[in-house]
A and B are shown apart, each in its own frame.
Chain A
């Protein structure tokens, strides 16, 4: 069964750090781009970051650039999101997801596999 399982969420003070993990199973993890998507309480979905199969390319939404770092360990079938300088507006459920790209990242076919999400709360 294709599965993504997030962990690492919790309560953190403003300015603090947190590292999220996503364990992948049931597919060849190293063959796929991976993403993080978040959803603030009662709000819509927001794409956060993407990482290429070998980790050589990374892309971020402007609001997290310089604060968040996406990474992966293909040997462990794991995706990570290091979050630094956290703000109250980073409070959200964070999902890892599998986006489908083709043709040298020119074509996009949606995010076909999602985890159940992990909750991050930034509050004093």
Chain B
């Protein structure tokens, strides 16, 4: 099974900061990677799909990059509404399985 490792697990930042979260796969997953934002008590929200495509309605300060085994989610200028937990998710077309990373909590510094 492919393992997804997110780092850091917790990140303290201030409004206006540039924030980068990394997700590493234990083997190549091409570009079948998605990023989600989750706030306490709420369902996850899709931000990025296919590693770098912005979901409709998501602010352009969010961006994704990478392919193969290393991927990043960047928030160009952190806003108050962005304090949340972020998850990456990979799709393995051979095993037909989906796997989430462990999550990164973005906290107020």
Which A residues form the contact surface with B (CB < 8 A)? 35, 37, 44-47, 50, 57, 59, 61-62, 95, 97, 99-100, 105-112, 114-117
Contact = CB atoms under 8 A, between A and B. Distances in A.
Given A107-B32, A108-B91, A110-B49, A45 B103 contact: yes
B52 to A, nearest CB: 12
A117 B42 CA distance: 8
Contacts of B101: 44
A115 to B, nearest CB: 7
Given A50-B98, A59-B96, A59-B97, A45 B32 contact: no
Name the prevailing secondary structure of the B interface residues. strand
Interface residues of B, number: 26
Interface string B9-31: 00000000000000000000000
Interface string B78-102: 0000000001010101001111111
Contacts of B44: 37, 45, 95, 111, 114
Counting chain A CB atoms within 10 Å of each CB, the highest count among B43, B46, B91, B100 belongs to: B43
B87 A105 contact: no
B32 A108 contact: yes
B97 A110 contact: no
B106 to A, nearest CB: 15
Contacts, number: 71
A35 B21 CA distance: 26
A109 B32 CA distance: 7
Contact of B87 (A45, A50, A116): A45
A55 to B, nearest CB: 15
Interface string B42-61: 01111011100101000000
A61 B97 contact: yes
Contacts of A109: 34, 49-50, 53
